[in-house]
Amino acid sequence: MLTIYNTLTRKKEEFKPIREGRVSMYVCGPTVYNYFHIGNGRSFIMADIIRRYFIYKGYDVKYVMNITDVDDRIINQAIAEKIDSSQVAAEYTEAFFEDLKKLGVMDADVHPKATEHMQEIIDIIKKLVKNGYAYNVSGNVFYDVAKFSSYGKLSGKKLDELEAGARVDVNEEKKDPLDFALWKKAKEGEPFWESPWGKGRPGWHIECSAMSCKHLGETFDIHAGGNDLIFPHHENEIAQSEAATQKKFVNYWLHFGFLNINNEKMSKSLGNFFTARDVVKHFPAEVIRLFFSQTHYAGPLNFSTELLESARKGQEKIQNLYDRLKSEIAAAAVPGEDFETDDYKKRFDEAMDDDFNTPQAAAVIFDFVKYANSYFASHPSPGNKFFEASLDFLNSTAVNVLGVINPEIKTMEYPTIENELIELLIQVRLDARKEKNFAMSDKIRDGLKELGIILQDSKDKTTYKRI
């Protein structure tokens, strides 16, 4: 039984899809005004792992991640770069796709853009105005929060407490400080669209209500995003969508914990961030994904290069086994004895079924690495069944779900200082051999062997592998 912690009910619940065998999932995507940071990357990667797990379970998943390509921040960036705001959005949308790919994140089935859904956005606002949930004040349209009786149900906030906090945000035009903009009247020089209320642009919250409804229907299974989106973004999405359709908007609300630096949220505004594209220059995607997997998606996680370095060591252990299995499978001459992986698969499934417990699932992978390595140690030439079962297990879990193994790149190609030092020693040994200094050459080979690094000489080069 697959369970998910639902922010809406504050409980772990059994996952029951609306349509048998199918999952509809919407994840709030980026506002494309800059490169995204590795904190955003954590949310995108954990959402990707969850999506991949549903696929692993045999579900037909429709996964939608929007792109907010009209927003104050984009307009400000355009002013700073002295270019058009649509150019800023286009540039960083492209960068967003490139960076997701670098992190090993699968493309969404649909990446809807706000600017391409103006009609749908205007239609919902029209409906809300017609049904008395929204009002127009000279070209600005606001949502009338007091009309939606269950406002606050997602965040657990009470209306009167919110009222007290919101008084600072007084706006002459709003009936109530809690009311929020659905449509903003265009200011001089800003991008705008025609609407029944005049030239303007949509508010951020209504974009997600319109795009999720268009691509997943009025009610869908899962809506996800970072913790910072619970209030007001997701609370407002519920208010808009449920008022417009009179139906339940989303069955399961799932929220990701923050990636912190020194216990403070990584964010653009605090300036304490690393872009994802910079981090992948130093750490392969598989290492970053293992690092994130080792903490539950909902909890906070501190970012540091020391922690990433230790994830790198762990990832190399998994990758080394995988590389060894792949490189030696062809030489397995006999079928050999059966090799059972069912127990590991069962444990992996149990971990992931329990609200996507990736730390536990990663621990199962490490247990399996130990198990397979000890099998290698006690079986000098294992049979084919061992290789096939092990590769099957690792491919379906560590490659396809967690994405912590690169099925192509060899560990030794990663540009780590350790690998570079090994290459340097190999070079020194080759020089020693040229000078017929065999004592030195043997000393290097034996020394590396003691460290678990085996040199393999072929006609024109020396390679190495780890045991």
Residue 43 within binding range of ligand AMP, rule CB under 6 A = yes
Residue 226 within binding range of ligand AMP, rule CB under 6 A = yes
SS3 3: strand
Report the residue from 15, 183, 258, 292 that binds ligand AMP according to the rule CB under 6 A: 258
Residue 208 binding result from Zn ion, ligand AMP, none, given CB thresholds of 5 to 8 Å by partner type:
Zn ion
The Cα 288–Cα 279 span in angstroms is: 9
Residue 23 binding result from ligand AMP, Zn ion, none, given CB thresholds of 5 to 8 Å by partner type:
none
Length of the chain equals 467
Instruction: Please give the residues from 295 up to 314 whose contact with ligand AMP meets the rule CB under 6 A.
Output: none
Long-range contacts of 448-453 (CB under 8 A, 24+ apart): 448/422, 453/422
**DSSP codes of every residue in 183-217:** EEEPPTTS--B--TT-SEEE-HHHHHHHHHHHHH-
Q: Which is nearer to ligand AMP, 37 or 174 (CB)?
A: 37
Instruction: Supply the minimum distance, in Å, between the C-beta of residue 131 and ligand AMP.
Output: 29
Query: For binding to Zn ion (CB under 5 A), which residues are involved?
Result: 28, 208
Instruction: Please give the residues from 387 up to 416 whose contact with ligand AMP meets the rule CB under 6 A.
Output: none
Instruction: Supply the minimum distance, in Å, between the C-beta of residue 290 and ligand AMP.
Output: 17
Chain CA centroid to CA 75, Å: 26
> Tokens in use for 23?
């999952």
Residue 232 within binding range of ligand AMP, rule CB under 6 A = no
C-alpha R_g of the chain: 27
Residue 24 binding result from Zn ion, ligand AMP, none, given CB thresholds of 5 to 8 Å by partner type:
none
Chain CA centroid to CA 452, Å: 34
- What would the x/- binding string for ligand AMP be over residues 266 to 285, using CB under 6 A? xx------------------
Report the residue from 259, 308, 401, 455 that binds ligand AMP according to the rule CB under 6 A: 259
Per-residue CA distances from 248 to 12, 143, 180, 224 (Å): 19, 18, 21, 16
Instruction: Supply the minimum distance, in Å, between the C-beta of residue 225 and ligand AMP.
Output: 4
- Count the Cβ atoms, other than its own, within 10 Å of residue 195: 22
Residue 265 within binding range of ligand AMP, rule CB under 6 A = yes
Residue 211 within binding range of ligand AMP, rule CB under 6 A = no
Pick the stretch among 128-136, 147-155, 251-259, 437-445 that binds ligand AMP (CB under 6 A).
Answer: 251-259
Nearest to 3 by CA among 347, 357, 295, 342: 357
Instruction: Please give the residues from 156 up to 185 whose contact with ligand AMP meets the rule CB under 6 A.
Output: none
Cβ burial of 459 (10 Å; 0-12, 13-18, 19+) is exposed
> Given the rule CB under 6 A, which residues bind ligand AMP?
28, 30-31, 39-40, 42-43, 225-226, 228-229, 256, 258-259, 265-267
